[in-house]
Structure 1
Amino acid sequence: MWTVIGIALYILIAIAIVISLLLNGIRPSKTLAWLLAIFTIPVGGILLYLMLGRNKRKQQRYSRKPRAPEITPAVPAQDTAPLSKREGQISKLIAGNTGFPLTTDNEVELLKDGEKTFKRIFEALREARETIHVQYYIFEEGELADRLLDLFVQKEAEGVEVRLIYDSIGSLSLSRGYLQKLREAGIEVYNFLPYRFGRFLTSLNYRNHRKIIVVDGETAFTGGINISDKYLKGDENLGIWHDMHLMIRGSAAHHLNTVFINDWELVSGNQLEIKPPEMSQFPGNVRMQILASGPNDDFSLMEKLYFTLINSARKYVYITNPYIIPNHALMTALHTAALSGVDVRLLLSSKSDSIVVNLCVRSYFQRFLRSGIRIFLYPEGFLHSKIITVDDRVCTIGTANVDDRSFQHNYEVNAVVFEKTTAVELREYFERDSEKSIELNFEDFSTRPLTHRLAEGAARVISPLL
């Protein structure tokens, strides 16, 4: 009797999930993948769907709209050329859907790799007078975390308000002892969507992948670098982690502070005041915009940013990212650009921190190469940067990968810079790294062993679920 009841209950749950997928599924390929998983993997398919497949955008926690910054966009300097039509469309896409306008009074500095990045971060933290806001996906204990702890404690004793958000999955190894030391010093600490037995299935799939530090609402850092010693000393499997970060002074730093404040309200329930800075205090002239995306978006904004950047290219588009698992729209955009004569190049790490994800990424290489896209594999350590550079005019640096997890499930943030000097500097970094890399060619790659192709194909089947 209990067996019959169990089977009946299982069928009812499966039917309810199928109805939900048919009503709310956006991508047919992903909907089909979940339907196959539910009906071919008894029990396990439903559990996987509950953990990874449900669309939370309609739930109150995820549908809450973040506050926009209380700031008027700066007036462009007289010697600053106006945005081109294509750049204006990108800016309008961001402002119209996020509330973050174009700012024109910024100073920026590219920070390549951990040593330079953390040098600048510690310099800025030591100068903090009022607030330090820190938010990271991965916050790992080690020498770097210990130095930050000492500095946070010192600044809190000086009267600086220090607040920290860490992701409960990305920072899983962060110990209670470390957190207790922070709290004993008066530092406010919250983790993002803490996993508990009753909430594990509902929160696992929605992570905060952002990396943000804002000092006094004026100086900010964002990009791909997490708090981890592997950016300074490497790890035994992958070696040194290479990445790109960005230091910002200006109104865009205030916008990153607004992103943090919105996330602070989400994790703590407390609403902080958004204080707009004096517009005259920033001497920079770099135009940039902040795009914060997440499962609370009405549309997949980061996907649309990447899609628009690729489509806007007339000369070249260079993408550096370790996780390129494009959906159909981005595949079409990349192929169309390459077949139209645009110089499309991808720079990825030859090593990976995930075997399955690496196989998924490589499963797209043959079609990329066939369409004329050039692929470079960086051999020294692990390349973790997330960069797109277009035509020496516009570029983006941030936290978002080129995959559905970043587009649909994670909270991400990217800085979009409309300035030639920064774009050229990123292109030159790309070219120097490419010279060190191994370039693939279609003939050699297409003759790789059958076992490799089968493994890549199997991994690609589950790519809509990653």
Structure 2
Amino acid sequence: MTLQTLFEEYWPHLVFLVSVVTGATAAVHAAMTKNDVRAAISWVGVILMSPLVGPFLYLIAGINRIRRDQISQQRDKSLKEYSRIQSPTNFEIAEYSARQFESLRLLGDKISRHPLRNGNNIRMLVGGDQTYPAMIQAIDQARKSIALQTYIFDNDSEGRKIADALARAKERGVEIRVLIDSIGSKYSRPPIIHLLRKKGIQTALFMTNPLGLRMPYANLRSHRKILVVDGRIGFTGGMNIREAFVTAVAGDKTAGDTHFRVEGPIVMQLISVFAQDWEFTTKEALPYDTWCDETSSPPEPKVPARCIWSGPDRAIVSTHNMLLGAFAVAQRHIRIQSPYFLPDATLLGAINTAARRGIIVDIVIPGSNNLRLVNYAMTAQLDQVIRTGCRVWRARGNFNHSKLITIDGAWSYVGSSNMDPRSLRLNFELDVEIYSRDTALAIEKQIDGEIAHSDRTTLEGLAEIPFRKRLRNRIIWLASPYL
């Protein structure tokens, strides 16, 4: 009997055997490597219910291929190099914030590899109308180095303005590195990476070509937003680079967002995170003297702050743990603004416990969302916070992409993280905790301004949604860990 005859006669048995072996192998891998029981159960279920397609999907989207030991060692090395002056400073939290946050400071010391440093100047920038001109001004004043990292860098009118500013800096002899997420780079066609490279700017894509395949990692993305100029001025927050945030272009459809311009020791922390991701992507180590400036003195006022980076490696629950600690120490008022509000059961428990303790909890989400499926899933979960006394507000008007949290008018948490499963477990994120009454007040005004133009969501309103839509929302909510 020839091999061909054998295959023709027994191919159903061979397919069954292959499906059993691959399915069992993938299921065992998921059960042994997933630390989140919900993720483990979900993937094992997908694999067992679809023995051929399931293992393939798990191979593409379910396996964390980041070599934890290698990337952690790279980060340890980079942190030691870029944190020479990053020793903790002694000061009383109550002087800048409130005494209740001393315990949160201790929690941050254990979660973040960056110490809480005093002496930072932090200025909030609202929308693209303020943010992009400030970024271009800093780029045009650069003397030695520019580091830019973002999730989306569109090849549109605003993206090309920043590309042109980078090109002008390149002509002046400034060292430039640009890091764009491989999936985020595809939001515009053609991707701007070709234009940047044509202008001679060193640009790389984060997380591409796994296992030699011409495809990006489907589930692991760099969602960080960092711009550091001369190791002296930094920008971070939630804004991508897109013309949709600029009034002159988008008009009455302009999307909202919030970003922050920073000076002081926290800039060293920003460049440290960038240097780690750049070396992980390109294997190029950035020299300390070119990318850092230890001599600059930021303007007043100066406040304590630090970076909290998270991602699917050893820092996987950094932001998750910081928020749990922050909600636990709240005494009066928690304000949360998030475009994608899908906290897991643990965070929901912390938020609801705060509300039951008598803390005022305001949650602001967009009335008009750019991700329809996420909006459906959010709607399906809102009753879980409303029942405990939380106030949920759907903002009228255009979509707002801001990610802002303040507690008791004294502590703020801002950055790239959404309050959803992707940000909390899958994405590489960067956030900043700020101990400052003035900063918290400015953010509170921003959030309260949204609330003033919002409609409050109630249990009665949710019950009035037609059954078929409520059922649709719940079905999509079941898939929320994968949205």
TM-score (norm 1): 0.93
- Structure number, greater radius of gyration: 2
Matched, 1:389 2:396: no
2:226 aligned to which of 201, 212, 218:
212
1:161-172 equivalent positions in 2, closer than 5 A: 161-172=175-186
Within 1, Cα distance between the matches of 2:211 and 2:66?
22
Within 2, Cα distance between the matches of 1:238 and 1:224?
21
2:36 aligned to which of 16, 19, 27:
27
The residue number in structure 2 matching 1:157 is 171
Matched, 1:371 2:388: yes
TM-score (norm 2): 0.90
Aligned-pair CA distance for 1:78: 8.9
Matched, 1:345 2:362: yes
The residue number in structure 2 matching 1:10 is 19
SS at match of 2:185: coil
SS at match of 2:27: helix
The residue number in structure 1 matching 2:118 is 104
Aligned-pair CA distance for 1:72: 3.3
CA gap 1:202/1:92 in 2 versus in 1, 3 angstroms? farther
8 Å CA contact retained: 1:50, 1:202:
no
- Between the two proteins, the alignment pairs up a number of residues equal to 466
SS at match of 1:453: helix
Aligned-pair CA distance for 1:21: 2.2
- Of the structure 1 ranges 25-34 and 450-459, higher mean CA displacement relative to structure 2 is found in 25-34
Matched, 1:37 2:29: no
The residue number in structure 2 matching 1:413 is 430
8 Å CA contact retained: 2:366, 2:400:
yes
8 Å CA contact retained: 1:212, 1:221:
yes
Within 1, Cα distance between the matches of 2:93 and 2:305?
16
8 Å CA contact retained: 1:132, 1:214:
yes
Amino acid at match of 1:317: I
The residue number in structure 1 matching 2:6 is none
8 Å CA contact retained: 2:207, 2:281:
yes
SS at match of 2:186: coil
- Of the structure 1 ranges 196-205 and 40-49, higher mean CA displacement relative to structure 2 is found in 196-205
1:73-112 equivalent positions in 2, closer than 5 A: 73=87, 75=89, 81=95, 84=98, 86-112=100-126
The residue number in structure 2 matching 1:440 is 457
Aligned-pair CA distance for 1:131: 0.6
Across the aligned residues of Structure 1 and Structure 2, the Cα RMSD in angstroms comes to: 2.5
1:18-417 equivalent positions in 2, closer than 5 A: 18-56=27-65, 58-59=67-68, 62-66=71-75, 67-68=78-79, 69-73=83-87, 75=89, 81=95, 84=98, 86-173=100-187, 178-195=192-209, 198-199=212-213, 203-233=217-247, 239-275=253-289, 277-278=293-294, 281-284=297-300, 285-417=302-434
Which 5+ residue runs of structure 2 have no aligned equivalent? 1-9
Within 2, Cα distance between the matches of 1:290 and 1:241?
26
Which 5+ residue runs of structure 1 have no aligned equivalent? none
- Of the structure 1 ranges 427-436 and 81-90, higher mean CA displacement relative to structure 2 is found in 81-90
Aligned-pair CA distance for 1:31: 1.6
Within 2, Cα distance between the matches of 1:17 and 1:400?
30
Aligned-pair CA distance for 1:55: 3.3
Q: Identify, as 1 or 2, the structure richer in helix.
A: 2
CA gap 1:41/1:238 in 2 versus in 1, 3 angstroms? farther
Superposed CA offset, 1:39-60 (max 9, x none): 2235332232222222345555
CA gap 1:298/1:150 in 2 versus in 1, 3 angstroms? closer
CA gap 1:64/1:53 in 2 versus in 1, 3 angstroms? farther
Aligned-pair CA distance for 1:305: 1.4
Aligned-pair CA distance for 1:456: 1.3
The residue number in structure 1 matching 2:3 is none
Within 2, Cα distance between the matches of 1:114 and 1:417?
22
Superposed CA offset, 1:48-86 (max 9, x none): 222222234555555545132222346467998276554
Superposed CA offset, 1:326-356 (max 9, x none): 1111010011111111101110111122222
Aligned-pair CA distance for 1:404: 1.7
CA gap 1:48/1:85 in 2 versus in 1, 3 angstroms? farther
1:451 aligned to which of 468, 475, 478:
468
